[in-house]
Amino acid sequence: MQDLKTPCYVIDEDKLEKNLQILRGVMDRTGCKILLAQKAFSNYGVYPLVAKYLAGATASGLFEARLCKEEMPRNMENHIFSPAFREEDFQEICLICDHIVFNSMKQLEKFGERAKMARMQVGLRINPEKSTQEGHAIYDPCAPGSRLGTTLAEFEAGFLANPKLLELLDGLHFHTLCEQDSDALEETWKVFQEKFGKYLKDMKWVNFGGGHHITREDYDIARLEKVIAQARETYGLMVYLEPGEAIALNAGSLFTTVLEVQEKHLYGDGKDPAGSMDILILDTSAACHMPDVIEMPYRPPLKNSGEEGEKNHTYRLGGPTCLSGDVIGVYSFDEEVKEGDVLEFQDMAIYSMVKNNTFNGMPLPSIYRKKGEKITLWKEFSYEDFKCRL
């Protein structure tokens, strides 16, 4: 670990494989199919490992679908969903995808026939209008004003206007959860059936989307499997799940070096307690390398640290960018932290590398892969990666 060039991500393949084994268990016991939602984690270097356990991948658009086509083995399913597809992408999508999910009746009308002619299975994303999460409206596709999914009113009006659209559909899809347990799925599925149950008999499959925190220690897998079994038995449906987070949960860290210790305690006058807390400037940035810390927001776990004041030495940790809010959080340590020390943020495999940016000309962290005790460099970035995007 000492020789790592920071900032860098280290993907833990053993942990990834443990997650995949848990997911494979759900597939084996229920007959459902689980797909990798690539938007959360697209490290195609480990796609062969993912493919040993899962049924395929899902894409948010053409590029992710291409990545699946190029980097997953041939027998993997390649699903795609987008709120609106682009005409110029559609032909290629027809060539490389086997399942397509439309967001609206209008999109289904525009592309549905062509998708069928290309022998894709066609689905429609539903908005069951059942929120099961509070606080994170930006992660709630059932929040008022949502653009994601077709409501029952829109669905029925669409078929009234054009009854042929129903014949195009092989499946229905909903994605409404975020880091949730299976009780939220159960509640949502109940409402979904009340509203759309009468249409499910005509379908081949239902896709429960992502947001299932299946590989979290306290997740109730038995309840998930009960819901899947009920869907199969009642309607004869194949059930798809497309988690992102659950696949690489806790399967990677971000290592960073302390560049500067700002000794605020020497100058604080006590009037502003926050102002007299020492600050660590790191060679990583929340805004560039872990944007969910600011967007979500959340406080990432940091190895061998405690909450503010829990251990002897408390610091505010921030990045070297111009953004005042580029702060990762407040953490405490047993020992005083020194310039040059390396810190490890955990659970950094998901929604990190896929969201990185080079704001302020920040370098992109290198990516290493760890298997057993062996760590190998997989990707390194340079000034050219910054320049070529501008």
Residues at the site binding ligand PLP, with contacts judged by CB under 6 A: 37, 39-40, 81, 175, 178, 209-211, 242-246
CA dist 234 and 223 (Å) reads: 16
CA dist 366 and 308 (Å) reads: 30
Beta bridge pairs of residue 123: 101, 171
Q: Which is nearer to ligand PLP, 77 or 283 (CB)?
A: 77
Name the packing angle between helices 13-30 and 221-235 (round to 10°). 40
Report, in Å, the least distance between residue 254 CB and ligand PLP: 18
Q: Which is nearer to ligand PLP, 181 or 242 (CB)?
A: 242
Report, in Å, the least distance between residue 170 CB and ligand PLP: 17
Report, in Å, the least distance between residue 270 CB and ligand PLP: 43
Report, in Å, the least distance between residue 40 CB and ligand PLP: 4
Q: Which is nearer to ligand PLP, 171 or 210 (CB)?
A: 210
Task: Tell me the H-state helices in the chain.
Answer: 13-30, 47-53, 62-71, 87-96, 105-117, 152-161, 164-168, 182-200, 221-235, 245-248, 286-289, 292-295, 383-387
Q: Which is nearer to ligand PLP, 34 or 105 (CB)?
A: 34
Structure tokens at 205: 């499959």
Report, in Å, the least distance between residue 335 CB and ligand PLP: 36
Report, in Å, the least distance between residue 320 CB and ligand PLP: 29
CA dist 65 and 211 (Å) reads: 20
Report, in Å, the least distance between residue 203 CB and ligand PLP: 18
**C-alpha neighbours within 13 Å on the C-beta side of residue 79:** 29
Q: Which is nearer to ligand PLP, 181 or 245 (CB)?
A: 245
Report, in Å, the least distance between residue 332 CB and ligand PLP: 30
Q: Which is nearer to ligand PLP, 112 or 209 (CB)?
A: 209
Q: What is the CA radius of gyration of the chain?
A: 23
Residue whose C-alpha is closest to residue 13's, from 369, 377, 373, 378: 369
Q: Which is nearer to ligand PLP, 81 or 199 (CB)?
A: 81
Cα–Cα distance list, 292 to 160, 289, 315, 327, 347 (Å): 42, 9, 21, 12, 12
Q: Which is nearer to ligand PLP, 12 or 245 (CB)?
A: 245
Residue whose C-alpha is closest to residue 76's, from 41, 42, 47, 39: 47
Phi, psi of 182, rounded to the nearest 5 degrees:
-75, -15
Which burial class, exposed, middle or buried, applies to 361 when counting CB atoms under 10 A from its CB (0-12, 13-18, 19+)? exposed
Contact 366, 5 (CB under 8 A): yes
CB atoms within 10 A of CB 7: 23
Q: Which is nearer to ligand PLP, 245 or 283 (CB)?
A: 245
Report, in Å, the least distance between residue 360 CB and ligand PLP: 27
Structure tokens at 173: 């899809």
